Amino acid sequence: MYSLEVIEKSIRAMDTQQLIDRWERNLFSDESRPIAEAELRRRGIDPDGPMPDQEPLPPEPVSNFSLRDLPFWKQLFTFKGRASRLKFWTIVPAAWLAFIFLRVLMETLFERVSYPVLLLSVFGPLVPIAWVHWATIVQRLHDRNKSGRWAGLLFIPCLGQLWALVELGCFPGTPGPNRFGRN
């Protein structure tokens, strides 16, 4: 499949820990095993003897994205990253309160208006507030190491809301990094 030169270059490019790890797990093919053995010997490691103790490689993160990289207001509108329980319990009620406040404000300002203006007064503030609300729910699901598609359960009357209250509001997130980014 690959030429021996390409295999040799890739083995030489490995750091010592990678080389030892692959050797111990017997991940080299029949063609590449002699090259890996020669590379180990070149680095002063006996392939037949015990391997030197080295620190294990840290797991590579699936995603390097973090909400900390964005300004606060942009964190509210993205569906990427993770959200803690504190953020969930802060943003979601605040979004509801903001909607209620704006809705009451629109009702008092536009007391006697036409139907299109009334619709605008309802859906105008609803769209950005709903976006922030759903983005926070998806981020919270990511913190629980679940896909954002789980948010679809909220459309099940009563059970969906109860599930979200327990799953998102009570259970802690995944400790350390997960597939959606670091903590």
Distance CA 139, CA 161 (A): 17
For residues 157-181, give the mean pLDDT: 86
Q: Which residues pair with residue 181 across a beta bridge?
A: 178
Question: What share of the chain in percent tops pLDDT 70?
Answer: 85
Query: What pLDDT, on a 0 to 100 scale, did the predictor assign at position 130?
Result: 85
Query: What pLDDT, on a 0 to 100 scale, did the predictor assign at position 71?
Result: 65
Least confident of 5-14, 46-55, 78-87, 171-180: 46-55
CA 25 remoteness from chain centre: 29
* pLDDT above 80 (res 88): yes
* pLDDT above 70 (res 116): yes
Q: pLDDT confidence of 69, banded at 50, 70, 90?
A: low
Query: What pLDDT, on a 0 to 100 scale, did the predictor assign at position 15?
Result: 84
For residues 77-95, give the mean pLDDT: 85
Least confident of 18-27, 37-46, 60-69, 77-86: 60-69
Query: What pLDDT, on a 0 to 100 scale, did the predictor assign at position 60?
Result: 59
End-to-end CA distance of the chain: 41
For residues 79-92, give the mean pLDDT: 85
State the helix-helix crossing angle for 16-24 and 33-42, rounded to 10 degrees: 130
State the pTM of this model: 0.55
Tell me the per-residue pLDDT of 11-54, one tens digit each, with 9 for 90 and over. 888 888 888 888 888 888 888 889 989 998 898 888 888 777 76
Cα distances from 108 to residues 103, 104, 112, 123, 124, in angstroms, run 9, 6, 9, 16, 15
DSSP string, 90-116: HHHHHHHHHHHHHHHHHHHHTSS--HH
| Domains in the chain: boundaries | 1-57, 67-169
Query: What pLDDT, on a 0 to 100 scale, did the predictor assign at position 1?
Result: 57
